[in-house]
Structure 1
Amino acid sequence: MTGTTPTTDSETGKTSAALSLQWQMLAGFIIGLSLGLVAYVAAPDARWINSITTYITGPIGQLFLRLLFMLVIPLLVSALIVGIAEMGEIRALRRVGLRTLVYTFVVSAIAVAVSLLVVDLLRPGAGIDPVAARAMLSDAGPGAQAILNRGEDAPQGMAAFIAIVPDNFVAAMAGNDILAVMVFSLFFGIGLVLVQTPQTKLLLSAMEGVLAVTMRLMGLVIRLAPIAIACFMFNLASQFGWDLLIRLSAYVGVVLLALAIQMFGVYSLLIAFIAKRSPLRFFADVQEATVMAFATASSNATLPTALRVAEDNLHLPRRIARFVLTIGATANQNGTAMFEGITVIFLAQFFSIELSIPQQLMVMMMCILGGVGTAGVPAGSLPVVAMILGMVGIPPEGIGLVLGVDRLLDMCRTALNVTGDLVAATVIAAGEEETPAAAS
């Protein structure tokens, strides 16, 4: 297909660069954490520490976040439109494209619901001193306070549900109403699926250009992530001390638990009851692709292996396997959506911010939409997480806490993403096999 989402890890050199950046981010995490803990132990009330966080580490982190926020709207709009439009690009597979679209959103919703349930029950972020957390909120600056005030004035109940459909798309972008922007992008992408003309193909090509440029710029910005993470971790560790490590370990455990439930629970049920296959046999057949995804932490780099596994081991029809797996590499990202949902709720607990049920539903919807067309750059889910944090009044600086351990989690959620793509191809292929018999 012509409209594939651009990626930065499709070549060996770029994969190596992504790996190098991950190690740089880990180094920044360790350096910032170590210096912050030293400052916390040696001089917890020293004035010079406040000066460093106010005039050095704080501004550096804020500049990094502002660069992300500057690019997040064009990135999400173009990624979501292109990701949806690609599903209808092959007219002969229009029914398969529709089934893939429905499957992607339903299973993504289940994945995010599982992740939110687990993180709400286990509460890995609870236990931090609420006084210190509130102090950090009060020092978040006028930008964060404006976000907080907007959250307090946001519509509630049915009005909030109606508000997710924007009456003015430009106003929604100007007001950083990211959920309304994503809903518009979803409908616009569906429109490009329904209208197949030379003009719409040209429009899709233009959106692919916007996506390519924005992703390139995002890649440049994310190169600054190691420095920003070091600053974020110094600020957090100098204020919260050893509690930070305890909460971080609990966070990693909850993410891995949620991914395991989706992998061996939800996927097994889909394979057994919809695809009518043995889950044990299925996981044995796809283990090569799963291991490759875990090792490379890249759905796109694993795509050739996944295609071969689908055809040789699962014996799926080639036309369905190629279509579903190619789309799934960018659109069906259950692991990424789960990571985003758990991260947002974890940081809300960490900063002692109670999110209402409507707010958590909003987070859930944004994670579902954000999982469709997440940027194929290192830490590609970073802008989505940062924007969701800002919308619900959580300091976006908290992302530094989770990015330091993101390498392991990235490997695990990529394994889930690739396995989920193969599950999707198996389920959709089973439905296609039943369709001709039902029609006759």
Structure 2
Amino acid sequence: MNPEATPLPPSKGLPLHVKVMIGFLLGGLIGLLVNWQQMQNTDLVLGLTTYLAKPFGQIFLNLLFMLVVPLMFSALVLGVAELGDIASLGRLGWKTLIYTAVVTGIAVAIGLLMVNLIQPGHHLDPQLIEQAMAQYATKATDITTKGQELNFIELLINIVPHNVIAAAVDDKQKLGVVFFALMFGIGLVMTPSPATAAFKQVLQGIFEVCMKLIAMVIRLAPYAVACFMFTLCATLGLDALKGLFFFVATVLIALALHMFVVLPVWVRTMGGMSPRVFFRGSQEAILTAFATASSAATLPVTLRVAEENLNLPRKVSRFVLTVGASANHHGTALFEGITVLFLAQVSGLHLPLTQQVMVLGLCILGGIGTAGIPSGSLPVIAMICGIIGLKPEGIAIILGVNTFLDMCRTSLNVTGDLATAVVVSHRTRETETAVLG
């Protein structure tokens, strides 16, 4: 809990995460019922979806995105400033970077292993391929164009923004905002004066105002989640999942292995925290991530549960989670690896081990460069396909189930961010104790 912020009064009635779960279940069940009864194209359902569910859900997302940039900037600058010296920032940064790379690599390796074992691309009906390619041809072309515009050198260059205002506006350049905030925080540490101390208090005020507004917005989460799930299940139903059953199953199994096996072991052994305590404290952020399919939109909730539920030191959690929302995407990297190999199997292209290792490395880098917004990984997948000689247009095959899988992988992204924060916090405390001892 932030001692400088005014604590919110305890809410009456059901806890927010329980309300979110109820909205999730009700919206999903009603949507599936509508789809099962083939009512999704009736005037009533189309009216509800077009004029109520979609607008309400989008307004909820917009309210969160509206506050992300000032929250991200103030949280990261304050996190750096509270470390007190550049050496501490360097140690924290290197730990975060190394843990992110290693655990993201494990996630991608799990995905590649599952896709080699299950071989989902060999279980696909050729008629479904033709149907998907025709149905999503225009959208696939747009994604392919965006993928061709990307390259890893450009992503690296854009980390240092030439115009921080433009970077704040462009979702693909959020890492530029992170870099600017890091530099600003370093400057604040290196310039101790009454003026900079006063400016730090201004940033603290901005952070507290953002968190207060977010606490108000997040009360709408149960209703927004119900709208998201209703729209998804009413339009998608189970037919699309059946057609791509082996692909969906491969992704879900790999995500589940990383989320419920790798991360709990990592949190227990490296973070010194019980997995039960970790998941109980993180569940609100995980559900919000599933509903919004956006790590950036979930950041306000992630910061709050880290401090209030997991009791992580704010100087560490603010740094790790703010950077993580832009660069630490376990689920996205895993999904990118599975999708690339799946499309290779569909096209009959056999990738030897050396090329699969290259895909693993590209997915780790791609996970860092992926925008933390819904479907932000698709242009990166198209780029990787182009690098290894696959036709990026083949991405049309998975677009029918992408929305659902995007929600699932974003949940893992946010869980991975919180797990990283737990581990870095624990290792930092151990280091500080050893130094003091």
TM bucket (normalised to shorter chain) is: 0.5 to 0.7
Partner residue, 1:341: 329
Partner residue, 1:75: 71
Spell out, residue by residue over 1:252-280, the C-alpha distance to the aligned partner (whole angstroms, 9 max, x if none).
Answer: 65445324335536985xx7xxxxxxxxx
CA change 1:389–1:359 in 2 (3 A) is: same
CA change 1:160–1:295 in 2 (3 A) is: closer
Which deviates more, 98-107 or 218-227? Answer: 98-107
Q: How does 1:10-409 map to 2 (within 5 A)?
A: 13=10, 20-43=15-38, 46-48=41-43, 49-88=45-84, 95-119=87-111, 121-122=113-114, 151-152=146-147, 154-176=149-171, 177-242=173-238, 253-259=253-259, 260-262=261-263, 264=265, 286=272, 291-297=276-282, 298-301=305-308, 325=313, 327-332=315-320, 341-344=329-332, 361-364=365-368, 384-386=372-374, 388=376, 398=403, 402=407
Q: How many residues get paired?
A: 363
> Are 1:86 and 1:327, in contact at CA under 8 Å, matched by a contact in 2?
yes
TM-score normalised to the size of structure 2? 0.63
Q: Does 1:418 align with 2:429?
A: no
Q: State the Cα RMSD in Å.
A: 5.0
Residue 36 of structure 1: how far off its partner (Å)? 1.4
CA change 1:122–1:77 in 2 (3 A) is: farther
Cα distance in 1, alignment partners of residues 423 and 89 from structure 2: 19
Residue 389 of structure 1: how far off its partner (Å)? 6.3
Cα distance in 1, alignment partners of residues 4 and 339 from structure 2: 36
Partner residue, 2:348: none
Cα distance in 1, alignment partners of residues 35 and 233 from structure 2: 7
- Amino acid corresponding to residue 201 of structure 2 in structure 1: S
- Amino acid corresponding to residue 71 of structure 2 in structure 1: L
> Are 2:71 and 2:210, in contact at CA under 8 Å, matched by a contact in 1?
yes
Spell out, residue by residue over 1:326-383, the C-alpha distance to the aligned partner (whole angstroms, 9 max, x if none).
Answer: 53344345997699724445777999998x976862532569xxxxxxxxxxxxxxxx
CA change 1:232–1:303 in 2 (3 A) is: closer
TM-score normalised to the size of structure 1? 0.63
Cα distance in 2, alignment partners of residues 193 and 400 from structure 1: 42
**Secondary structure at 2:27's aligned position in 1?**
helix
> Are 2:112 and 2:337, in contact at CA under 8 Å, matched by a contact in 1?
no
Residue 209 of structure 1: how far off its partner (Å)? 1.6
**Long gaps (5+) in structure 1:** 272-282, 307-324, 368-383, 435-440
Which deviates more, 338-347 or 27-36? Answer: 338-347
CA change 1:420–1:257 in 2 (3 A) is: farther
CA change 1:154–1:413 in 2 (3 A) is: closer
Residue 43 of structure 1: how far off its partner (Å)? 0.9
Residue 190 of structure 1: how far off its partner (Å)? 2.2
- Amino acid corresponding to residue 258 of structure 2 in structure 1: A
- Amino acid corresponding to residue 37 of structure 1 in structure 2: L
**Secondary structure at 2:162's aligned position in 1?**
coil
**Secondary structure at 2:189's aligned position in 1?**
helix
Spell out, residue by residue over 1:288-322, the C-alpha distance to the aligned partner (whole angstroms, 9 max, x if none).
Answer: x6654444444434667x8xxxxxxxxxxxxxxxx
CA change 1:212–1:244 in 2 (3 A) is: farther
> Are 2:60 and 2:220, in contact at CA under 8 Å, matched by a contact in 1?
yes
> Are 2:366 and 2:380, in contact at CA under 8 Å, matched by a contact in 1?
no
